[in-house]
Chain A
Amino acid sequence: MTLAHCLSRSASWRRTGTAEFPYTALVAGQTWLVRLNDFPVDPMYSLLIDGREVGDFDDWPACWSRPN
């Protein structure tokens, strides 16, 4: 699954309680995890699926719901 595909797919996120990996979601049986990077030196986020790094991105997709 490519990063572009993941960023265009709806996902409902919940907080993990950790600062470096603040959000996780269960999508089609896979565990998605967002890592917060050293922004603005590095991209804002990295997406990991089942522990594998899929890619980096800066802006949170509109189709991803983030907890308040």
Chain B
Amino acid sequence: MTLIKRLTLALCTLALLTAGSLPVQAADGGPTPAVSAPATNTADPAVAQAPQTNEQIRQWYNNQVAVIPDLNLQWQSEGLSAEERAQRAQDIRHAARIKARDFMQNQQEVADLRARDQEKYGNPDGPTFDQLVQANRAKGLEGDAVYEQIIKSSSRTNKEYNDRFGIKPSGQAP
């Protein structure tokens, strides 16, 4: 695949995620079912796939960020810098975070989360890329290590909790 095709694929991935339907690519290269965006028409079969509970939304989020390590390998093979890869990984994670809140049915809970993020990061939608860079530098990281840490943390999920409740990244049996 040419560099242009790969870049186009990455941009499409971001666009689909932002639109609420990210076709997750399995480790073997084959596609897995897309995740539907929230909607109000319950007659639409796609709506039945939309996560309803917060636990289901966390599962959906895990599936979205699970593709980042594979995408990072792809980006590395294309010669992208650590900073560019970190920015792309953060874009995917941030879009998934925002979309997860779109799925949430209790608007008070959404407001509570936005208030928390505002208090913690000064931004109701969570940390910005620049804040993550500064936070990693404050931890003593330098050079590309700052960006590699952002990439690594972009696919972080709460393993202990996921194990306890059987929440698995995409492609794993429950």
Query: Cβ of A43 and Cβ of B161 under 8 Å apart?
Result: yes
Q: Is B156 interfacial (CB-CB < 8 Å)?
A: yes
Q: Mark B17-59, 1 if CB is under 8 A from A, else 0.
A: 0000000000000000000000000000000000001110110
Count of residues in B whose CB is under 8 Å from the partner chain: 25
Of A20, A40, A56, A59, which contacts B61 at CB under 8 A?
A40
How distant is B47 from chain A, measured CB to nearest CB, in Å? 20
Q: Is A44 interfacial (CB-CB < 8 Å)?
A: yes
Q: Which of B4-12, B110-118, B130-138, B142-150 contacts A (4 or more CB under 8 A)?
A: B110-118
Which residues of chain A are within 8 angstroms of B96 by Cβ–Cβ distance? 40
Query: Cβ of B53 and Cβ of A19 under 8 Å apart?
Result: no
Complex Cα–Cα for A18 and B118 (A): 12
Query: Cβ of B112 and Cβ of A58 under 8 Å apart?
Result: no
Which residues of chain A are within 8 angstroms of B57 by Cβ–Cβ distance? 40, 58
Complex Cα–Cα for A59 and B106 (A): 10
Q: Mark B90-116, 1 if CB is under 8 A from A, else 0.
A: 000000110010000010110011011
How distant is A23 from chain B, measured CB to nearest CB, in Å? 9
Of A36, A41, A43, which contacts B116 at CB under 8 A?
A36
Which residues of chain A are within 8 angstroms of B152 by Cβ–Cβ distance? none
Complex Cα–Cα for A18 and B58 (A): 24
How distant is A66 from chain B, measured CB to nearest CB, in Å? 7
A-B contact pairs, 8 of them (CB 8 A): A18-B119, A19-B118, A19-B119, A40-B60, A40-B97, A41-B97, A42-B161, A68-B108
Given A40-B54, A66-B108: 14 more A-B contacts, CB < 8 Å: A19-B112, A19-B120, A20-B116, A22-B115, A36-B112, A39-B113, A41-B61, A41-B156, A42-B161, A43-B58, A58-B55, A59-B53, A59-B54, A60-B106
Residues of A within 8 A of B (CB): 18-20, 22, 36, 39-44, 56, 58-60, 66, 68
Residues of B within 8 A of A (CB): 53-55, 57-58, 60-62, 96-97, 100, 106, 108-109, 112-113, 115-116, 118-120, 156-158, 161
